[in-house]
Amino acid sequence: MALKIWLGDGLVDEHEAKISVFDHSLLYGDGVFEGIRVYSGKVFELKAHLERLFESAHVIRLTIPMSIEQMTQAVLATTEANSVRDGYIRLIVTRGIGDLGLNPFLCKDGKVIIISDNVKLYPEEFYEKGLKVISAATIRNHPMALPPQIKSLNYLNNILAKIESIDAGAGEAIMYNHLGFVAEASGDNVFLVKGGVVYTPPVQAGSLDGITRRVVIRLAKQEGIGVVEKDLTRFDLYSADELFLTGTAAEVIGVIEMDGRVIGTGKPGEMTKRLRTLFFKAAHS
């Protein structure tokens, strides 16, 4: 069935949902986006996603042509129009139509685009078996160049790392920062478990401030599980009891092998499974 897409200020049919070749989001990757889940008919952590979107836009000097309240209604209308109960929402704000030069302030008619569809993102066996990952040679963007906290439409840094993982036959690529510390994966945040304590790099190490990461930290703390945000090295990951990744697409997923080293028992660990179950309950509550 053809989807209804939110484009600008209302819903249009999928085949009518088109933007200009002069939109700077195409010409320069100049824009911001969010990936959001719908669980049991409820948009998961919508407020947090919209706040992050508006924050990213603010930092790149992009004025979003609607309020958070209006965007909330637009997201709900798009999800409703497509009868999405368990699925995915892609929310995009483009810089708009400009000339062939860089100047973003000449751009007009920046577009809000919302795509909402019933999709299953990962097969169940991925979660049962766990992922193999590799260390990417491509480092994460330097925070003083393009802060990884901005969820911009320019994803080439992540795509270069993703290509490395595909070439290696792995499911994800771990990215390091300019100092050699763990930053994040190409599309997920990174956690390890050691001695019953959960560790993750601080956002300042060069990662997106993941919404799933925030939820997992909150749920772990509620359960009395220790969570420590500190710089982590490749050695720390290799020698962890458990490794797992978090993200809107991946949710909470165990890592069982990294750069040819078996992690922990070689199966998704107990803490990983516990946090995944807690996440699932929170998502469907």
In the shown chain, the binding pattern of residues 248 to 277 toward ligand PXG, with x for contact by CB under 6 A and - for none, equals: xx----------------------------
In the shown chain, the binding pattern of residues 111 to 150 toward ligand PXG, with x for contact by CB under 6 A and - for none, equals: ----------------------------------------
**CA dist., res. 50 & res. 192, Å (int):** 28
Nearest approach, Cβ of residue 64 and ligand PXG (Å): 18
> Which amino acid appears at position 184 of this protein?
E
Contact 216, 279 (CB under 8 A): yes
Calculated CA dihedral for residues 279, 282, 284, 285, nearest 10 degrees: 160
184 touches ligand PXG (CB under 6 A): yes
**Looking at the annotation, which residues are catalytic?**
151
212 touches ligand PXG (CB under 6 A): yes
From 78, 116, 189, 272, residue interacting with ligand PXG (rule: CB under 6 A)? 189
DSSP-assigned states of every residue in 218-248: HHHHHTT--EEE----HHHHHT-SEEEEEET
From 71, 136, 211, 252, residue interacting with ligand PXG (rule: CB under 6 A)? 211
Cα 32 to chain center, whole Å? 12
158 touches ligand PXG (CB under 6 A): yes
Residue 32 or 107 having the CB closest to ligand PXG: 32
Nearest approach, Cβ of residue 109 and ligand PXG (Å): 26
**CA dist., res. 269 & res. 106, Å (int):** 52
Q: What are phi and psi of 246, to 5 degrees?
A: -130, 145
201 touches ligand PXG (CB under 6 A): no
198 touches ligand PXG (CB under 6 A): no
Six-digit token pair at 242? 């458990």
| Cβ-closest position to ligand PXG | 35
What stretches of 8-82 show up as alpha helix (H) in DSSP?
24-28, 46-59, 68-81
Which parts of this chain interact with ligand PXG (CB under 6 A)? 35, 158, 184, 187-189, 207-208, 210-213, 246-249
